[in-house]
Amino acid sequence: MMLLVNCSNCHTPLQLPPGATSIRCAICQAITYLTTQPSLYNHVQPASAHGQKRAVIIGISYKYSKNELKGCINDAKNMKYLLTNKFKFPESSILMLTEEETDPYKIPTKYNMRLALYWLVLGCQPGDSLVFHYSGHGSRQINYSGDEVDGYDETLCPLDYKTQGMIVDDEINATIVRPLPRGVKLHAILDSCYSGTILDLPFLCRMSQSGHYSWEDHRPKSGVWKGSNGGEVFCISACDDHQKSDDTTVLSKVASTGVMTFCFIQAIERGHASTYGSLLSSMRNVIRNPTGRGYKKGGDGVATSLLALLTGGSLDSELSQEPQLTVCEPFDVYAKPFFL
């Protein structure tokens, strides 16, 4: 069984081969020696049977900070309920990271989030179904490599982002997308701002209000392949790369939730998610619809945008949040069945 250890210098998670006591980091070249207290995830056996389901669910509220969000932990709990009850994910195969966890390895710090993502894909085999759900702050930063269409890298904000930094889309892609072999399926469900291309997948589905769609090419000009190693990857994100997502009580009428997570779960529960196209259309219609149980801007909506909060900005009442779908290879979204 492979062990995961963090590089002693740059803290990048590394896979230590069986029997090895040290490893050299390919990024910074530092040598890391096996400690006597390896991480919790080192003891998790990789998948050994075909058809295994595994999920990482992360909800971060940033409690007691000026950037606090009210609905993210609710999102995490709701997603876990959906996976276990609707899609029959074993509870033991779901790793939850929230501030409410008592295990220190399950607090959503940058270190723990990185290890959780490595654990998600570790030892995956054909027939496996993997899910990554994140609800929390998202941000973006200038891209200097030239491989982003809009010139920005999208990021996720761990609980300790102020001291440890954010997790950039390039790292997420390298960790959970590119290693996936043929026969493995991954769904990433990201409820955060600027998350349209957060997995750096090659193709984005541009869908009009009438439901017509086309595939937008996001492959880097450098020619570097940022898709998988044959596996299927679907990223359903809260909004486009330039948009903000919301955290609100308007939809549930009871508790705060992320707009995107609520619409995603509702579409599935109401039978509106038979295909990827119907799922995406249903989610967008709930957000657009001002007369039904749709989401209206204003009220107690709080943007899950780190940039807006740090700059003291407010949610633009004219800005519409449009969930996005990105994938490795284009397909007919109204013909391909959706299932986790």
Q: What percent of the chain has pLDDT over 70?
A: 76
Look at the block and give the residue holding tokens 């609800």: 135
Catalytic residue among 72, 124, 133, 137: 137
**Across 237-256, average pLDDT:** 70
Q: Count other Cβ atoms within 10 Å, centred on residue 171.
A: 18
Q: Picking from 132-136, 147-151, 232-236, which range would have the lowest pLDDT averaged per residue?
A: 147-151
- Is the pLDDT assigned to residue 290 strictly greater than 70? no
Of 243 and 190, the one with more pLDDT: 190
Catalytic residue among 157, 193, 235, 239: 193
Mean pLDDT of the chain: 82
Rounded CA gap, 240 and 195, in Å?
A: 6
pLDDT one-digit tens code per residue, 306-339: 334 333 333 333 336 899 999 999 999 999 999 9
Residue 235 designated active-site: no
**Across 81-95, average pLDDT:** 94
Of 273 and 10, the one with more pLDDT: 273
Residue 202 CA neighbour count, 13 Å, CB half: 18
Pairing of strands 302-303, 53-59: unpaired
Q: Which domains, ranges and CATH numbers included, belong to the chain? A: 1-38 (no CATH), 51-327 (3.40.50.12660)
Contacts of 115 (CB under 8 A, 6+ apart): 4, 6, 13, 39, 40, 41, 105
CA 52 to chain CA mean position, Å: 20
What is the token pair recorded at 121? Answer: 């894909």
Task: Give alpha helix (H) positions in 122-258.
Answer: 161-164, 169-172
Residue 10 designated active-site: no
pLDDT category of residue 253 using cuts at 50, 70 and 90: low
